[in-house]
Amino acid sequence: MFPLVLHYSSPAEAREFHFVREQRSWSEALHYCRLKHTDMASAADASEMGQIAAAIPPGYAEPVWIGLQRGRSLVWRWSDPTRETGYSKWGDGLPNAQPKMCAAIYGFDIFMFGIMNAWLSDPCGHIKHFVCFDQSRGLVVVDEKKDWTSAQTYCRTHHTDLASVGSDAESGQIWAARPSGAAQIWIGLFSDDWSWTDGTGSSFRNWQSGQPDNGVGEGCAGLLTNDSGRWADLFCTRQYSFICAGAPRAKRLIVRVKIRSAQENMTSEITDHLLNQLVAPWAHAPDMKASWQRCANGEIFIREEDRTDDRPEERGTTE
Ligand SMILES: [Ca+2]
């Protein structure tokens, strides 16, 4: 009598990343992602960063916006987002409350107590020995000197990440294992004034060495497709493509229904009953609802829409 197709695919459970090939400023990109998806892309860890990079078409060479912006407050974070720890062992008067500082273990001699260790804050570009964490080997003190970001890249490439230090014992263990001549050893702690637009507190950062360099107006993070997907702080009003997170917002589908009957006396009670039966299967669907309404001229519409977006985007007519 009235072929009617109501089709709806519910949003996937897993996080999705979508590359949007439109040139937008960072704020415009954020607006777009929140309207059409969930938010701009954020990365909880290296694995999600890989998924974001995989969403970019091969060979695309321009920077791509991600959902990270410079905020107002400075926070000390661990490089390894899976090993957050509240422990710290700052030396007297430390750390310096400045961005772009990283933490290192240093030693000092106390009469009668011998060599002690504590942490200091130092500009991340300085060159020092460093300690990695390796999932199978534990702490690995590396007998090479690098700036903090290069040390982070080394640890992520050869081990798991720069080491998170969770106790006096670990701090002492690292200091005791220092290479000869090492005056300070980078650990995986860095000061950071960046935050994700989706509110996740993820400490995962993947800066290119030397970035962020805090250029004037460079308060937005872009993924550098020409440098293994590492990031840089970029001028926010520059126009780049971008990555959104979340499935595309579901569309409202309006289907026009015409009921024909061989019977003469097709009452409104009968049509109501038919249409109620038609929408009944969606009564307990988690992500959508279907309903019908009678128009002023007596025509009847079936309406289907998702629960988060009431903007009609697609209309179909059938009978
Ligand atoms: Ca920069």
Give the distance (Å) from ligand 1 centre to CA of residue 193.
Answer: 14
Give the distance (Å) from ligand 1 centre to CA of residue 211.
Answer: 6
Give the distance (Å) from ligand 1 centre to CA of residue 233.
Answer: 4
Give the distance (Å) from ligand 1 centre to CA of residue 125.
Answer: 14
pLDDT value at position 111? 86
Give the distance (Å) from ligand 1 centre to CA of residue 91.
Answer: 31
pLDDT value at position 299? 65
Give the distance (Å) from ligand 1 centre to CA of residue 219.
Answer: 9
Give the distance (Å) from ligand 1 centre to CA of residue 217.
Answer: 9
Please report, in tens digits, the pLDDT of each residue of the chain (319 residues total): 444 444 444 443 468 999 999 999 999 999 999 999 999 999 999 999 999 999 999 999 999 999 999 998 899 999 999 887 889 999 999 998 888 899 999 999 888 888 899 999 999 999 999 999 999 999 999 999 999 999 999 999 999 999 999 999 999 999 999 999 999 999 999 999 999 999 998 999 999 988 999 888 999 999 999 877 899 999 999 999 999 999 888 767 777 777 777 777 777 788 888 888 888 887 777 666 777 877 666 666 666 555 454 444 444 433 3
Give the distance (Å) from ligand 1 centre to CA of residue 158.
Answer: 27
Give the distance (Å) from ligand 1 centre to CA of residue 213.
Answer: 5
Give the distance (Å) from ligand 1 centre to CA of residue 294.
Answer: 58
pLDDT value at position 227? 74
| Full 3-state SS string of the chain | CCCCCCCCCCCCCCCCEEEEEEEECHHHHHHHHHHHCCEECCCCCHHHHHHHHHCCCCCCCCCEEEEEEEEEEEEEEECCCCCCCCCCCECCCCCCCCCCEEEEEEEEEECCCEEEEEEEEEECCCCEEEEEEECCCEEEEEEEEECHHHHHHHHHHHCCEECCCCCHHHHHHHHHCCCCCCCEEEEEEEEEEEEECCCCCCCCCCECCCCCCCCCCCCEEEECCCCCCCEEEECCCCCEEEEEECCCCCCEEEEEECCCCCCCCCCHHHHHHHHHHHHHHHCCCCCEEEEEEECCCCCEEEEEEECCCCCEEEEEECC
Q: Which domains does the chain have, with CATH numbers?
A: 17-245 (3.10.100.10), 252-317 (no CATH)
pLDDT value at position 286? 64
Give the distance (Å) from ligand 1 centre to CA of residue 201.
Answer: 22
What is the pTM assigned to this prediction?
Answer: 0.73
pLDDT value at position 149? 95
Give the distance (Å) from ligand 1 centre to CA of residue 221.
Answer: 9
pLDDT value at position 306? 54
